[in-house]
Amino acid sequence: MSQNQVTAEASGTYTLGDLQVNRLGFGTLQLSGPGAWGHPADPKEAVRVLRRAVELGVNFIDTADAYGPLVTDVLIKEALHPYADGLIIAAKVGVARPTPQDWVPVGRPAYLRQQVELNLRHLGVERIDLLQLHRIDPQVPLAEQLGELVRLQQEGKIRHIGLSEVSVEQLEEAGKTASIVSVQNLYNLANRDAEAVLDYTIANQIAFIPWFPLATGELGKAGGPLDDLAQRLGSQPAQLALAWLLKRAANILPIPGTSSVNHLEQNIAAAGLELSDEDFDTLTHTV
């Protein structure tokens, strides 16, 4: 199957709460400026990337008010509104960007409500399909942070609630206040520190959304473990990294991001790459 023929449907599906999504999605962080600050250098290409992603079967798009800030929400609306039936947009709130370098957790209920309202306005929707708490604010009780999101959910402004960068203990605590359908933690072939959280989500039917899913870097260099196998399979190192995630667990929803249509097409082509058990084990134990 050629790269341009592969669509996200080939990655399989997952039921997120009551929403079915194709497992290989798209993350929008790289559509904002450098360091997720400001506007993209080529806004027209950013719009093309989003439209091409949907053309290639992506129906799960991840954004956050902190990207830009509020740049990627506007790009999504410009590129895709009115939204096709079945297109699921996941947003995040709970991080302020006072400077390009700073990502500051802010979990005060009034702030979270304000940011949800801004996401709704900038995305052009009446309800956010999946609203994730971007970071837990250690200065505010978790029950207060999630309690406000639950109130917004009861008001019909949020459909499902998720968390980002949490431990198993925090997940268990969160479950006392809200029904959690997703967790978005750093996880990839080279960084598996969230293994215990992944195992918890598997056992509890919670989606696991790995951010920074590629992280090929040194792994993909000439002679490295990804490069050797990629050459044998006629693929790219980044495609192997995504294929490994898709095979690792059925609840993993990778959201690779890019600001290039060409790179997008390469990433989506990973949905058609089936790793043998032997190749999967080789990657698992040599990286």
Which residue numbers are catalytic? 67
| Distance, CA of 2 to CA of 269 (rounded, Å) | 8
Omega before 82 within 30 of 0, i.e. cis:
yes
Query: 131-163 in b/e burial notation, b at 16+ Cβ within 10 A?
Result: bbbbbbbeebebeebbebbbebbeeebbbbbbb
End-to-end CA distance of the chain: 27
Are 76 and 89 in contact by the 8 Å Cβ rule? The answer is yes
Q: Measuring CA to CA, how many Å separate 216 from each of 240, 273, 280, 283?
A: 9, 17, 16, 12
Are 241 and 219 in contact by the 8 Å Cβ rule? The answer is yes
